[in-house]
Amino acid sequence: MEASRHTCLKLDIGPDSGPVFVKGTWYNSHFELLITDGLNAWSCNGSEEEVKDRAFQWDQSVSEYIQLAERYLGFQHPESVYGFNDAANGHKRLSWTFEREGTKLEWRWKCRPSSNSKQSTALILDFLMDSNIRLSEEVVKKTQLSEKLKEEAEKCLAQSEKFCSEKAEFETAVYEKFLRVLNSKKAKLRELRDRLSKQGASGKLEEEDEEVSTDKTESFDERSDDEKGEDELSKDLPSSSKNILASRPHGRKRK
């Protein structure tokens, strides 16, 4: 069975006539229209041959022609001029205008009177009632889904605020711990620096003391070397020389 699409348009023709309802059944290569003003009904059958012929006249493919007709008879376009006029013998002519490449064009289809206006009108009303029920059910489902999504969004928002609060508390606690550790490390570093400064000062004092003691030792060693040299010299001299040296006066006598 060929797939079909259904539309129903409340078409406002003008102030001189009341609205008419146009129910369309659309196939891939043809369509069917059922029209009522509430009292009388008409029908229009766009057969495959006729649709193909008109599509050829308008330099269109069959699918393009069907889509354009469904577009203008599925929803009323304010820029389009619609008409539903008498066409003799109880027939009506359904027309609508559209623009193509800057040119205003008009399509017209002849509708014949329905063999059973009450039944045709009832079919349109049934379709409208079924569509209204489906739309109502869809609205209820969408409303329930929207409320459910709203509740979930509120839960997510509350959870997000909770996470933000916990994150802020965690960061504050970690920052405080970090500050304590950092201050402790700084105190230890200052203590080590003071110790190093004290050790450096005491080391300088010890070096100075060592230098002074070294100077004194060198002076003592120099004097000792002089005395040792005299002793060695006296040992090397002969005994007569020693006596001479011993008998030699240490200073000049006054005359």
Query: Residue 233 domain-assigned?
Result: no
The CA distance from 120 to 117, in Å, is 5
Q: Which residues of the chain have pLDDT under 70?
A: 1, 203-255
- The predicted model scores a pTM of 0.58
Query: Residue 53 domain-assigned?
Result: yes
Of the candidates 73, 80, 92, 81, the one whose C-alpha atom is nearest the C-alpha of residue 22 is 73
Q: Could you give the maximum distance between any two Cα atoms of the chain, in Å?
A: 191
Please report the pLDDT score of residue 2 as a whole number: 75
The CA distance from 179 to 103, in Å, is 79
The CA distance from 25 to 203, in Å, is 109
Q: How many domains does the chain have?
A: 1
Query: Residue 127 domain-assigned?
Result: no
Please report the pLDDT score of residue 247 as a whole number: 47
Domain that holds residue 29: 5-115
Query: Residue 91 domain-assigned?
Result: yes
Q: Say which CATH number the domain at 85 has.
A: 2.170.210.10
Query: Residue 61 domain-assigned?
Result: yes
Please report the pLDDT score of residue 210 as a whole number: 63
Please report the pLDDT score of residue 213 as a whole number: 59
Please report the pLDDT score of residue 70 as a whole number: 95
CB 104 within 8 A of CB 23: no
Query: Residue 229 domain-assigned?
Result: no
The CA distance from 16 to 35, in Å, is 18
Query: Residue 213 domain-assigned?
Result: no
Which whole-number Å values give the CA distances from 7 to 132, 148, 168, in the listed order? Answer: 13, 32, 57
Query: Residue 33 domain-assigned?
Result: yes
